[in-house]
Amino acid sequence: MAIRITHVRFSGQEKTHQTIIRYAWTNTATGATGDNDKPTMVSFVDSKKNKVVVGTGANEVQVGAVHPDVGKPYLRTYADGKWTNNLLSLPTF
């Protein structure tokens, strides 16, 4: 399955990848929409069976799961061999 993350929700005022708590998404094949919490989305990405992106066309970038030595896993975009900040630029919901 492939989904596009369209919106994010933060826990409080600080806007970092680690403080995103929910992700709204659209299924790229069916147009179905939904939203999930961070642990569910990290598992979804980690399964390697699913493609998760942000943006469209030439601006589409892959989403990956980051598993730091300290702290809980979180999602971040990955483009051109580098971790990027595309999720932080999305609208909130």
User: What 3-state DSSP class applies to 38?
Assistant: helix
In this prediction, residue 27 carries a pLDDT of: 98
Residue 1 has what pLDDT?
86
Q: How is residue 22 written in tokens?
A: 């929910």
**What pLDDT does 81 receive?**
86
pLDDT, position 48: 87
79, pLDDT greater than 90:
no
Instruction: Give the integer Cα–Cα distance in Å for 29 and 49.
Output: 15
In the predicted model, is pLDDT for residue 56 greater than 90? yes
Task: For residue range 1-51, list pLDDT tens digits in order.
Answer: 899 999 999 998 999 999 999 999 999 999 999 999 999 999 999 998 999
Condensed to tens digits (0 to 9), the pLDDT of residues 80-93 reads: 889 999 999 999 99
Phi then psi for 35, rounded to 5 degrees? Answer: -150, 150
